Structure 1
Amino acid sequence: MSVVGFDLGFQSCYVAVARAGGIETVANEYSDRCTPSFVSFGPRNRSIGAAAKSQVVTNCKNTVQGFKRFHGRAFADPYVQSSKSHLVYDLAQMPSGSTGIKVMYMEEEKVFSIEQVTGMLLTKLKETAESALKKPVVDCVISVPSYFTDAERRSVMDAAQIAGLNCLRLMNETTAVTLAYGIYKQDLPAPEEKPRIVVFVDLGHSGYQVSVCAFNKGKLKILATAFDSDLGGKGFDDILVNHFCEEFGKKYKLDVKSKPRALVRPLPRVREAQEADECQLLRPATQH
Structure 2
Amino acid sequence: MSVIGFDIGNESCVIAAARRGGVDVLLNDESKNETPAVVSFGEKQRFFGSAGAAFATANPKSTLSHIKRLIGKLYKEVEEDLKLLPFATSEGPRGGILIELEYLKRKWAFTPVEILGMLFKHLKQITEKNVESVVVDCVIGIPSYFTDLQRRMYLDAALIAGLRPLRLMHDGTAIALSYGMYKTDFSNSGPTNVMFVDIGHCDTQVTLAAFEPGKMKILSHSFDHNLGGRDFDEVLFHHFAAQFNKIYKIDVYDNARASRRLRASCKKVKKLLSAYAEAPLIIECLIGDTDVRGFITRKEFENLSSKLLQRIIAPCSVALQDAGLGVDKLYTIELVGSGSQIPAITKFLKSVFEKEPTRTLNASECVARGCALRCAMLSPSLIVRDYKVYL
Is TM (by shorter chain) over 0.5? yes
Q: Which moved more, 1:261-270 or 1:137-146?
A: 261-270
Does residue 165 of the first structure (1) align with residue 149 of the second (2)?
no
Contact 2:3/2:19 (CA < 8 Å) preserved in 1? Answer: no
Contact 2:11/2:66 (CA < 8 Å) preserved in 1? Answer: yes
Q: Could you tell me how far apart the structure 2 residues matched to 1:185 and 1:106 are? A: 53
Residues 64 and 96 of structure 1, relative CA distance in 2, 3 Å threshold: same
Residues 240 and 101 of structure 1, relative CA distance in 2, 3 Å threshold: same
Structural mapping, 1:169-180, within 5 Å: 169-180=167-178
Aligned to 1:216: 212
Q: What percentage of aligned pairs have identical amino acids? A: 40
- Shift in Å at residue 254 of structure 1? 1.4
Q: Could you tell me how far apart the structure 1 residues matched to 2:107 and 2:169 are? A: 35
For 1:230, give the aligned amino acid.
N
Structural mapping, 1:182-261, within 5 Å: 182-190=180-188, 193-261=189-257
Residues 71-107 of structure 1, C-alpha deviations (whole Å, 9 max, x = no match): 1112233xx1121222211222233431121122223
Does residue 74 of the first structure (1) align with residue 70 of the second (2)?
no
Residues 134-182 of structure 1, C-alpha deviations (whole Å, 9 max, x = no match): 0010111110111111111111111111111111110000000000100
Q: Could you tell me how far apart the structure 1 residues matched to 2:177 and 2:154 are? A: 22
For 2:70, give the aligned amino acid.
F
Residues 42 and 121 of structure 1, relative CA distance in 2, 3 Å threshold: same
The answer to which structure, 1 or 2, has the higher relative contact order (CA under 8 A, 6+ apart) is: 2
Residues 49 and 97 of structure 1, relative CA distance in 2, 3 Å threshold: same
Larger radius of gyration: 2
Residues 165 and 271 of structure 1, relative CA distance in 2, 3 Å threshold: farther
Contact 2:203/2:224 (CA < 8 Å) preserved in 1? Answer: yes
Q: Which moved more, 1:11-20 or 1:258-267?
A: 258-267
RMSD, aligned CA: 2.2
User: What count of residue pairs does the alignment treat as equivalent?
Assistant: 281
Contact 2:61/2:101 (CA < 8 Å) preserved in 1? Answer: yes
Helix, strand or coil at the partner of 2:121: helix
Aligned to 2:65: 65
Helix, strand or coil at the partner of 2:234: helix
Residues 282 and 149 of structure 1, relative CA distance in 2, 3 Å threshold: closer
Q: Could you tell me how far apart the structure 1 residues matched to 2:98 and 2:108 are? A: 10
Structural mapping, 1:9-48, within 5 Å: 9-48=9-48
Structural mapping, 1:78-89, within 5 Å: 80-89=78-87
For 1:233, give the aligned amino acid.
G
Q: Could you tell me how far apart the structure 2 residues matched to 1:27 and 1:11 are? A: 17
For 1:36, give the aligned amino acid.
P
TM score, norm. by length of structure 1: 0.91
Q: Structure 2: where are the runs of 5+ without partners?
A: 272-337, 342-358, 371-391
Q: Could you tell me how far apart the structure 1 residues matched to 2:364 and 2:239 are? A: 33
For 2:232, give the aligned amino acid.
F
